[in-house]
Structure 1
Amino acid sequence: MPTQSQSPADPAHQSVAALPRDRLSVVIGIATTGRAGVVRTTVLHMANLADRPDRVVVSVANPADVDATGLDDLPFKVDVLHGPKGSSAQRNTVLDHAGDAGIVFFIDDDFLIAEGSVTALRNLFATHEDVVMATGHVLADGLRGPGYDHAEGLSMLERAVPVDADAAPRTVYSTYGCNMAVRGAAIRAYPERFDTILPLYGWLEDLDFSRRMAAFGRIVEDPHLRGVHLATKTGRISGRRLGYSQIANPVYLVRKGTYHWARALKLVTGNVLANSAKSLWPEPWIDRRGRLTGNILAFRDLLRGRCRPGRIHDL
């Protein structure tokens, strides 16, 4: 079961700056399902960087979800962990096995980090002791289109304009799930974990976790932490299920208290309008009609008083 947010009156509620200093080792966590080739390519990309993490943890529900051939010979340790299926549950598996990590950096299995990002993470958390979570600058996001292949992603990284050395992190509302880092000391000090009531793809689990962790420190976007999100289309949740989650999950988070209703209403309205307008001539890479059907089913359940995230298991 997910943990509840701590209130400012709780004894455990304190500034992250009051926590012990970490040895800022970087563990990269990847939750993946049904995309063994994709995650293998992403891990090998990190091995080709000069600036590498200390450890990579791949969290799967099925042994077939990762091809571990040759991963023992990389310049960092790769651990494959098995546990319950679902983005939230699989990310919790990473957190529960993070050990004494200074920073846990979650990336999607198709997110290519840029050279220098690991050092940027260490510098950020070492010099800004009030930061509890961080997200990076996405140089290109295939989620807004048909996606990119690995070669295209590498080309974008190579062509990226260098960041001004004086560029400072800025406070943001939440992290972006394809690349989000959390301070290791905060993981060990507080009971917060990803909410497993948000099943499968875990739509908005990154926002929910960020808003709960915001009680303990600042959430920032660091321009020196960069990468490309390929947004590979294989192995994604069905359009109908995602459409249902686009309604059910924001409603659940508003009721839970981690999402403001005005923000949720704006998100829901935007998704429903996009699915409706584009359902006649949908993009080849998006199941707009399935998403719209899921939206309608969720609204029907909302009127009947039975709209909840877990209903997608029945779709």
Structure 2
Amino acid sequence: MLHTRNNAALTSPGSQGGDELKQVSVAVAIATAGRRDTLSQVLGELVHQQRAPARVAVCPAKPEDADLEAFARLPFKVDVVSGPVGLCAQRNALMRHLSDVDVVLMLDDDFVMEPHYVGECADLFARHPDVVMTTGEVIADGIMGPGLELADAQAKLAADRMPGTERLRDVHNGYGCNMAIRMAPVRAHGMTFDERLPLYGWLEDVDFSRRIAEYGRIVKSQRCRGVHMGVKRGRSPGKRLGYSQVANPYYMWRKGSLSARFASIQMARNLASNFGKMLRPEPWVDRTGRVRGNLLAMSDLVRGRIDPQRARELS
């Protein structure tokens, strides 16, 4: 079981107290695909939050991705939202469903929060009205390796030590596995995730971040902490992802949400990693498939026909 901490020791300097925290409602939103059991585990961990989310909603890619019987055993209600398949489309469905809350905390279906995450998130948005998006401290990220199990995540959180003071850092973008969005600018400007970034939605978090940055600050919080298990089930096949690694940043540069420098760095980094590791790939990464997708996207780019949507056609 996750550890608990003395709440009094967690009061951030500058906090205005409980009355102010009550003014900000935080809903947890999870878009999911192919991780039925992992999703149920992550939802079960929400019972450890010292401040309960105002609402909890999930949007499964397929009906079988949501275990309704497991949800019914939880001590809180889980709203199951229908939406088209694709991370961006599913996140848009969740934002529409939760449009009446102050903050929507977008989590990956394999992200486990430290018990004070929701409370710290509400506190941050209450104390900093100029902040439109936050992203938390990922103390362990299984995406960089074979992935972590729930027991690993629990152990890492139990051993973690929260910093005594909050030092917000302005950042370029939120990290999609845990990013909280102030809904006021979303409502005011009709903001959505770009559904032309299909399927896994590679860099959709960066695209949305750079567009909402027009209305306020994006910050990283050291006190909103968690573990990204990096579960490999439910991810796009290598060829599809490889195509998106080139097509998506190029598309985002053309529409203006990414600078030419950032898009170029992203593409170059992915190409170097895939080609460099193709002969000795990690067991959990389809480097050959990614290289094939990279090459197809580069060919389409040269011929002037590159389109993020083409990833849907690949397998």
Q: Deviations over 1:13-71 (max 9, x none)?
A: xxxxxxxx994111100000111111111000112333321211001232111102142
**Distance between the aligned counterparts of 2:27 and 2:269, measured in 1?**
35
Q: Which amino acid aligns with 2:97?
A: H
- In structure 2, the partner of 1:38 is 38
Contact persistence 1:86–1:202 (CA under 8 A)? yes
- In structure 2, the partner of 1:28 is 28
**Distance between the aligned counterparts of 2:219 and 2:275, measured in 1?**
34
**Distance between the aligned counterparts of 2:229 and 2:199, measured in 1?**
20
State the 1:78 CA deviation: 0.8
Any gaps of 5 or more consecutive residues in structure 2? 1-20
Q: Which amino acid aligns with 1:175?
A: G
Alignment partner of 1:259: what SS? Answer: coil
- In structure 1, the partner of 2:120 is 120
After superposition, residues 104-143 of structure 1 pair within 5 angstroms as: 104-143=104-143
**Distance between the aligned counterparts of 2:187 and 2:158, measured in 1?**
37
Stretch deviating more after TM superposition (117-126 or 96-105): 96-105
After superposition, residues 1-315 of structure 1 pair within 5 angstroms as: 23-164=23-164, 166-315=165-314
**Distance between the aligned counterparts of 2:48 and 2:224, measured in 1?**
17
Contact persistence 1:278–1:288 (CA under 8 A)? yes
Q: Deviations over 1:260-308 (max 9, x none)?
A: 0111111111110111110000000111111111100100011111111
Contact persistence 1:22–1:102 (CA under 8 A)? no
Q: Deviations over 1:172-221 (max 9, x none)?
A: 00000000001122222221100000000000111000100001110000
Contact persistence 2:50–2:119 (CA under 8 A)? no
- In structure 1, the partner of 2:14 is none
State the 1:73 CA deviation: 4.2
**Distance between the aligned counterparts of 1:178 and 1:90, measured in 2?**
14
Q: Which amino acid aligns with 2:285?
A: I
Work out the number of aligned pairs and report it.
294
Q: Which amino acid aligns with 2:220?
A: E
Contact persistence 1:28–1:104 (CA under 8 A)? yes
Alignment partner of 2:309: what SS? Answer: helix
Q: Deviations over 1:55-101 (max 9, x none)?
A: 11001232111102142343332100111000000000011011321
Q: Which amino acid aligns with 2:248?
A: N
Stretch deviating more after TM superposition (22-31 or 303-312): 22-31
Q: CA RMSD in A?
A: 1.4
State TM-score, norm by structure 2: 0.91
Any gaps of 5 or more consecutive residues in structure 1? 1-20
**Distance between the aligned counterparts of 2:23 and 2:305, measured in 1?**
47
Contact persistence 1:136–1:179 (CA under 8 A)? yes
- Stretches (4+) displaced over 4 A: none
- In structure 2, the partner of 1:9 is none
**Distance between the aligned counterparts of 1:210 and 1:179, measured in 2?**
12
Contact persistence 1:244–1:295 (CA under 8 A)? yes
Stretch deviating more after TM superposition (96-105 or 273-282): 96-105
Contact persistence 2:51–2:116 (CA under 8 A)? yes
Contact persistence 2:131–2:216 (CA under 8 A)? yes
**Distance between the aligned counterparts of 2:55 and 2:251, measured in 1?**
35
**Distance between the aligned counterparts of 2:91 and 2:122, measured in 1?**
21
Q: Which amino acid aligns with 2:139?
A: L
Contact persistence 2:137–2:224 (CA under 8 A)? yes
Alignment partner of 1:133: what SS? Answer: strand
**Distance between the aligned counterparts of 1:290 and 1:204, measured in 2?**
19
